[in-house]
Amino acid sequence: MAQKANAIFLNEYPAGMPEPSQFALKEIELPAPGPGEMLCRTVWMSVDPYMRGRMRPDIKSYIPPFSLDEPLSGGAVSEVIESNIEGYAPGDYVVDFTGGWKDYYISKAEQTQKVDPNMAPLSAYLGVLGMPGLTAWSGVTQILKPAEGETMFVSGAAGAVGSVVCQLGKVKGCRVIASAGSPEKCEWLEKEAGVDVALNYKDYANAGQLTKALAEAAPKGVNCYFENVGGMHLEAALNCIANGGRMAWCGMISQYNNREPEPGPPNLVNVVGRGVLIRGFIVSEYIAKAMEFAMEVAPLLAQGKIKFQESKYDGLGKAPEAFIGLFKGENFGKAVVRVGPDSN
């Protein structure tokens, strides 16, 4: 039996900051699930910065661009409604990388994993226990490899990835300096996440001022830098990086909506003289280590050693607002959209 569904489409590809008018909520019709398929109901969906890159068809990337003729897609936690797949039954909950931006969809179980609704809130599987958490863990454990007593600097520290990076840094015995964009975020980072110093980057007009604040917070230099933002954060980090420092470049959200390329930092030469390792990465490189990640982070979450924040939006129609908020600093922690009723 065919199933009606609601889905978000792009009306046009954004140039610069995305606008609400560039998104449209439309009704679509889904076929009945065939052999090897299942019908899923989206409960929570994720909005993530990488999706902005999929809205630029003129630039080749590691993931294909969105089509204007098909619904947008992304990570979601969903309930199985009807299944023709062995091992999946109605009532099961799954994380699916195709289920976002729609309330019902057909899944072939590719890139799908069952989750336990009793172990954590379902939305957590899109954040601290999901792709952002794995991203944070991979950058810290596979690239930065911090030693006890070292200093770690994290940009975008109140976001879904950065907040986990900060707390993993503390677990590893680091002095952690965080950068975020409001007094409320900085207060949470210091009081709840346990960072040593939280800098409100909006207090600094340029890279020189941020460098001064960072140098005061890290008098022995920065050994590990986790890059989420770019711009003056990267310039300040390069000014303060210690000899033998390591940098994990995860993203540069400050540049995602630029119409023209931004000039590189003028102090990049510091990498040479200080023997700095820079490693850019995307989370898909470390999918094979997802179980190792879960075995380390899930217990820390249960013990209260890792905490998380969420910005929750209600209703599929709020998804564009949640997405645009990523680039305006409006979200605190992981941005998630409640699409349907949540059992927990």
Residue-level pLDDT, tens digit, the chain, 344 residues: 678 999 999 999 999 999 999 999 999 999 999 999 999 999 999 999 999 999 999 887 778 899 999 999 999 999 999 999 999 999 999 999 899 999 999 999 877 889 999 889 999 999 999 999 999 999 999 999 999 999 999 999 999 999 999 999 999 999 999 999 999 999 999 999 999 999 999 999 999 999 999 999 999 999 999 999 999 999 999 999 999 999 999 999 888 888 788 888 999 999 999 999 999 999 999 999 999 999 999 999 999 999 999 999 999 999 999 999 999 988 899 999 999 887 65
Tell how strand 112-115 and strand 93-96 pair up.
Answer: antiparallel
In a domain, 59, yes or no: yes
Residue 294 domain flag = no
Same domain (yes/no): 111, 143: no
The structural domain count of the chain equals 2
Task: Answer with the one of 241, 268, 284 that is the final residue of a domain.
Answer: 284
Regarding whether 224 and 95 lie in a shared domain, the answer is: no
Asked, for residue 170, whether it belongs to a domain, the answer is yes
Task: Please tell me whether residues 236 and 261 are part of one structural domain.
Answer: yes
Within-domain flag for 334: yes
Predicted TM-score (pTM) of the model is 0.91
Are 119 and 184 in the same domain? no
* Residue 290 is assigned to a structural domain of this protein: no
Residue 194 lies in a domain: yes
User: Do 112 and 233 belong together in one domain?
Assistant: no
187 and 107 inside one domain: no
303 in any annotated domain: no
* Residue with token string 């770690």: 152
Indicate if 29 and 68 belong to the same structural domain.
Answer: yes
DSSP states along 84-104:
-STT--TT-EEEETT-TTBSE
In CATH, what number is assigned to the domain containing residue 55? Answer: 3.90.180.10
Question: Do residue 150 and residue 20 come from a single domain?
Answer: no
- Regarding whether 196 and 153 lie in a shared domain, the answer is yes
DSSP 152: E
Residue 251 domain flag: yes
DSSP notation for 170-195: HHTT-EEEEEESSHHHHHHHHHTS--
Are 179 and 265 within one domain?
yes
By residue count, the chain amounts to 344
First to last CA, the chain: 29
Do 96 and 144 share a domain, yes or no? no
Final residue in a domain of this structure, among 239, 268, 284: 284
Residues of the domain holding 182: 131-284
CA atoms of 264 and 231, how far apart (whole Å): 8
CB 93 within 8 A of CB 111: no
Q: Are 104 and 157 found together in one domain?
A: no
Looking up residue 141, the CATH number of its domain turns out to be: 3.40.50.720
